[in-house]
Amino acid sequence: MGTLSEQEVPDSGAENVLDAYSRSVIHVAELVTPHVAAIEMTGTRRNGQVRMGSGSAVLFTEDGYMLTNAHVVAGIKSGRAVFADGTHTEVELVGADPLSDLAIVHGRRSTAAPATLGNAETLRVGQMVIAVGNPLGLSGSVTAGVVSGLGRSIPVWAGRHRRVIEDVIQTDAALNPGNSGGALADTSARIVGINTAVAGMGLGLAVPINSTTMRIIAALLGDGRVRRAYLGLVSTPIPLDASAVMRTGQREALRVVEVIPDSPAEHAGLRPDDLVLSAQGRPVSSAESLQKLLFAEAIGEPFPLTVLREGKVANIVAIPSEMMEQL
């Protein structure tokens, strides 16, 4: 009898790696899926036409509060959430923050146990993450991938308005319509992001769960809205070269990718390819480090920025406006 060639012999090491990967995904899916609901928001326009928004939501409190995307609720006040086991509840909008693309809805009756929120600040590029949502109406769908980028700022259109979602997680985990508002979990089944599919660039993107997000969640729970200062920058973190490190004493900065037309940033004279070194005298090296400074107290007040432009340090003062857009 013939023997298997060397190429045909299964590689047990590769199998073990794939088995471990599969077990991790299965474990996280089993723990996270019960906390993720499909939601459908419905309302009636003044002309009698029905408005609808649909996606996913993540239960994060024992008394029925769920996180989703602002663009999922689309300003609609009520709807229905259905969990993977078939249990359901009517939901009401608590509040939404278009700038972070986060919203909170509240279920009228208890359903599943809440998910555990993690901390996206611990994520590293290359780390495995699992996305759970309801793409194309298919409840409890799971995809896996890795973190492929951190600290991104993504410009998106909301109706006729342009806005920027700050500090998103980029992943190659496949996201489709209906995933928006679903969970992005780490291998310990902690929710580190809320998936968003609004960028339309074939990227998996998620709003991170971090200290800034928790501040937004607290404001939505308390007041139903977040008063936010708005600059109008699209930026990405970038390491500085050796000469810039020597000149500035910093290793990282935020590179301005785009300045939104007619924004406070444009009025202040910021330009694409400027490297933002500091804001209000504090070093900035991520979208979140800048976003932390742009809450209510910054609205209408001088907001000093130090930038590196064509090798020279420049000081610029912007006057942030209040973010008033509603989806």
Distance CA 205, CA 213 (A): 15
Q: Which of 35, 54, 56, 71 is catalytic?
A: 71
Give the H or E element holding residue 305: strand 303-309
Per the structure block, which two tokens stand in for 94? 């608590």
Q: Which of 56, 100, 153, 180 is catalytic?
A: 180
Distance CA 91, CA 71 (A): 16
Look up 35 and say whether it is catalytic: no
Distance CA 57, CA 106 (A): 10
Distance CA 223, CA 230 (A): 19
Q: Which residues pair with 229 in a beta bridge?
A: 322
Tell me, what amino acid is at 133? G
* Burial (0-12, 13-18, 19+ Cβ within 10 Å), 138: exposed
Contact of 198 with 207, CB cutoff 8 Å: no
Contact of 41 with 79, CB cutoff 8 Å: yes
Contact of 287 with 254, CB cutoff 8 Å: yes
**What does DSSP assign to residue 128?**
E
User: H/E/C letters for each residue in 199-218?
Assistant: CCCCCEEEEECCHHHHHHHH
Contact of 83 with 111, CB cutoff 8 Å: yes
Of 43, 41, 89, the C-alpha closest to 63 is 89
Look up 101 and say whether it is catalytic: yes
For residue 120, the tally of other CB atoms under 10 A from its CB is: 27
Per the structure block, which two tokens stand in for 185? 């979990």
Contact of 126 with 142, CB cutoff 8 Å: no
Q: Which of 101, 167, 186, 274 is catalytic?
A: 101
Q: Which residues are identified as catalytic?
A: 71, 101, 180
